């Protein structure tokens, strides 16, 4: 299982990629607080969708650059990308619009 450090690096990357300034600030706060648990349910549906889009479209190349040749990390992130693709293909059950 990849480390909390990988989680924080991924969240920091997402924070730098999203267009929503409020979301970016919240994600940077997550990283600074060194939280160990990340859930899309804490964000609005639009913010969660933007996070998933960054994961799906941009995360694998970044991870390949950060961890060249690390198959375990690559496989873990590839699985995350696949899960995001599956989630985005589903019809939403409910919306979390805080």
Mean per-residue pLDDT, 7-35: 94
94, part of any domain: no
98, part of any domain: no
Domain residue limits at 68 = 4-89
- Cα gap 39→48, rounded to integer Å: 9
In contact, 67 and 74? CB cutoff 8 Å: yes
Q: Is the predicted pLDDT of residue 42 greater than 70, yes or no?
A: yes
Instruction: Categorize the per-residue pLDDT at 12 as very low, low, confident or very high, splitting at 50, 70 and 90.
Output: very high
Mean per-residue pLDDT, 21-29: 95
97, part of any domain: no
pLDDT tens-digit readout, 84-93: 999 989 866 5
Q: Domain total for the chain?
A: 1
Per-residue tokens: 21: 């300034």
If one counts every other C-beta atom within 10 angstroms of the C-beta of residue 36, the result is: 8
42, part of any domain: yes
Per-residue tokens: 81: 């990308």
Nearest to 85 by CA among 44, 53, 37, 61: 53
60, part of any domain: yes
71, part of any domain: yes
Cα Rg of the chain (Å, integer): 13
36, part of any domain: yes
96, part of any domain: no
Q: Is the predicted pLDDT of residue 94 greater than 80, yes or no?
A: no
């Amino acid at each position: 299982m990849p480390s909390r450090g990988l989680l924080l690096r991924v969240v920091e990357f997402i924070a730098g990629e999203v267009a929503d300034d409020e979301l970016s600030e919240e994600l940077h706060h997550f990283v600074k607080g060194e939280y160990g648990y990340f859930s899309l349910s804490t964000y609005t549906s639009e913010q969660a969708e933007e996070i998933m889009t960054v994961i799906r479209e941009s995360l694998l190349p970044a991870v390949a650059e950060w961890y060249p040749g690390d198959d375990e990390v690559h496989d873990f992130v590839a699985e995350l990308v696949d899960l995001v693709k599956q989630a985005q293909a589903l019809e939403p059950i409910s919306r979390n619009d805080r």
